[in-house]
């Protein structure tokens, strides 16, 4: 039974009729070690069916494609940044600009349509908004690439003022949107401001296509005005430790470049480069110095998260570790320099030495061996409990690190103090958990936490969905809301 009928009128999504409602019952519970740690259950009925607007008497169901990014606002609405629309353009029999997450034939594409690039759900799973300019370049050397939004849809963040930030791993931009305005505009949504230059990256252009300046092969890692495939961002509500002004934007400039870069706000609403830190290690491995990121494979860094302990947490995905640095790290690049910053802590997700080296000590021995055999990957993190949009001002303890490990298709619950994994969101417990059923994962990509302690995990590649996990036990990590 279809739960709702929707109209997409004037760019705004409206719910017309509520046909039926259901009562959720937990179907699977995450690992609970009986030591008072929190446990979670997957809410298999979340989200509810996506809209299917009718034109010419035919219902056209939205398909998100890969769900690249997820973020949460002050009302616990969940935003996703999706890839279904990045279908590319064919000229002269050549398809260009197509992304792996785009809608495909198996998505009933004869009748279905790509969802808007940004879709918002309320905490009950109802679709409440959909917006974003899905235009693709139709002519010139860059045909098929995203014409307005970041190419290679990726990161999503809602800041303390309610703005939604988007970034892409195939472009050189980060964009800031007013979600209320954007939803009213629908498919013509315009950004409030942009950091970086569309289609041009901090790298060496190698062909007539300006996007050829993007990528790790041609990375320069030094520009004050250009980025290179930035997958993630976070906004600090506290005064910047260098400038004294609130609202600094920390960008994980890390599919092409190998740095965290900080931009600070100007009175006119624009942003100016302030400082950066990080460089390529030259190879991948947990033996890399703590002030470097893995060399290849993208996601170096893949995430940036601001803690209320005053530190910046960056995901070094190729090296499967979390680098913890002070907010005042780094300096401005001068004369081609790549400033470095010694981290205050390096958390290895299993392997290596130091914090996290024995992260899977609570796993069954054969499961621990399977985890390390598959190879862990620190893809994305969030804190729990947390108020995501408040970041450094979150009033919660942030005592747990929620770590999305796409190498093992699971999401680990890590005690932040000891760096030990005490549980997992996957129904398999502390073990690899691949699959497409509820509570399994297929290329888990990003995590976000709402004010009630629920955790959301977005999946790309073969997963192409977002799952919600609700808290079902209360323990020593507390109820600090």
| Terminal Cα-to-Cα distance of the chain (whole angstroms) | 37
State the residue for tokens 């936490």: 449
Secondary structure element (H or E) that encloses residue 378, with its range: strand 378-384
Give residue 16's pLDDT.
Answer: 30
For 229-278, the pLDDT digits (tens) are 999 999 999 999 999 999 999 999 999 999 999 999 999 999 999 999 99
Look up the CATH number of the domain holding residue 207: 2.120.10.30
Beta-bridged to residue 260, according to DSSP, are 252, 277
> What is the spatial distance between Cα 460 and Cα 152, in angstroms, rounded to a whole number?
12
Residue 270 lies in a domain: yes
Give residue 353's pLDDT.
Answer: 80
Residue 477 lies in a domain: no
> What is the spatial distance between Cα 311 and Cα 326, in angstroms, rounded to a whole number?
5
> What is the spatial distance between Cα 334 and Cα 2, in angstroms, rounded to a whole number?
59
Among candidate residues 266, 258, 184, 178, the one with its CA nearest the CA of residue 222: 258
For 363-389, the pLDDT digits (tens) are 999 999 999 999 999 999 999 999 999
Cα four-point dihedral sign 122, 448, 406, 220:
positive
The domain of 406 spans: 4-471
Query: How many other β-carbons are positioned within 10 Å of the β-carbon of residue 70?
Result: 26
For 407-462, the pLDDT digits (tens) are 999 999 999 999 999 999 999 999 999 999 999 999 999 999 999 999 999 999 99
As given in the structure block, the two tokens for residue 284 are 């991948």
State the residue for tokens 């250009």: 226
Residue 361 lies in a domain: yes
Secondary structure element (H or E) that encloses residue 209, with its range: none
Residue 480 lies in a domain: no
State the residue for tokens 């290596």: 352
Q: Which residues of the chain have pLDDT under 70?
A: 1-35, 474-481
What letters, b where the CB count within 10 A reaches 16 and e where it falls short, cover 132-144? bbbebbeeeebbb
Residue 48 lies in a domain: yes
State the residue for tokens 């003022």: 161
Count of the separate structural domains present in the chain: 1
Give residue 217's pLDDT.
Answer: 93
Residue 479 lies in a domain: no
Are the C-beta atoms of residues 165 and 156 closer than 8 Å to each other?
yes
Residue 116 lies in a domain: yes
Give residue 357's pLDDT.
Answer: 87
Residue 476 lies in a domain: no
């Amino acid at each position: 039974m279809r739960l709702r009928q929707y109209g997409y009128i004037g760019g705004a999504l409206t719910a017309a009729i509520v046909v039926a409602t259901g009562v959720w019952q937990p179907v699977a519970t995450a690992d609970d070690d009986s030591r008072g740690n929190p446990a979670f259950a997957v809410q298999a009925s979340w989200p509810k069916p996506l809209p299917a607007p009718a034109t010419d008497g035919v219902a056209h169901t939205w398909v998100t494609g890969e769900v690249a990014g997820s973020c949460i606002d002050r009302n616990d609405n969940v935003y996703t940044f999706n890839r279904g629309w990045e279908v590319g353009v064919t000229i002269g029999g050549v398809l260009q600009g197509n992304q792996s997450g785009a809608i495909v034939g198996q998505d009933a594409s004869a009748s279905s349509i790509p969802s808007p690039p940004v879709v918002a759900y309320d905490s009950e799973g109802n679709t409440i908004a959909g917006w974003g300019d899905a235009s693709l370049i139709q002519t010139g050397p860059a045909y098929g690439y995203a014409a307005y939004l970041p190419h290679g849809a990726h990161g999503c963040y809602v800041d303390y003022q309610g703005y939604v930030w988007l970034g892409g791993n195939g472009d050189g931009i980060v964009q800031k949107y007013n979600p209320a305005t954007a939803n009213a505009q629908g498919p013509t949504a315009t950004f409030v401001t942009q950091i970086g230059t569309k289609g041009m990256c901090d790298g060496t252009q190698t062909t007539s296509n300006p996007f050829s300046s993007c990528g790790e092969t041609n990375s320069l890692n030094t520009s004050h005005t250009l980025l290179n495939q930035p997958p993630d961002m976070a906004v600090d509500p506290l005064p910047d430790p260098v400038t004294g002004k609130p609202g600094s934007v920390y960008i994980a400039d890390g599919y092409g470049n190998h740095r965290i870069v900080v931009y600070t706000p100007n009175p006119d609403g624009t942003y100016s480069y302030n400082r950066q830190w990080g460089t390529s290690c030259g190879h991948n491995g947990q033996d890399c110095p703590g002030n470097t990121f893995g060399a290849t494979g993208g996601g170096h860094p893949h995430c940036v998260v601001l803690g209320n302990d005053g530190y910046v947490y960056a995901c070094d995905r190729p090296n499967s570790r979390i680098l913890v640095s002070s907010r005042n790290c780094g300096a401005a690049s001068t004369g081609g320099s790549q400033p470095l910053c010694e981290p205050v802590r390096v958390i290895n997700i299993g392997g290596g030495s130091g914090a996290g080296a024995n992260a899977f000590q609570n796993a069954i021995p054969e499961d621990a061996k399977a985890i390390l055999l598959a190879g862990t990957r620190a893809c994305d993190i969030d804190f729990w409990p947390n108020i995501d949009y408040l970041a450094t001002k979150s009033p919660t303890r942030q005592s747990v690190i929620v770590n999305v490990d796409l190498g093992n298709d699971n999401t680990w619950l890590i005690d932040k103090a000891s760096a030990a994994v005490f549980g997992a969101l996957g129904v398999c417990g502390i073990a690899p958990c691949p699959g497409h059923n509820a509570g399994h994962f297929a290329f888990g990509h990003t995590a976000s936490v709402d004010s009630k302690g629920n955790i959301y995990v977005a999946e790309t590649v073969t997963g192409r969905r977002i799952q919600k996990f609700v808290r079902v036990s209360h323990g020593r990590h507390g109820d600090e809301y």
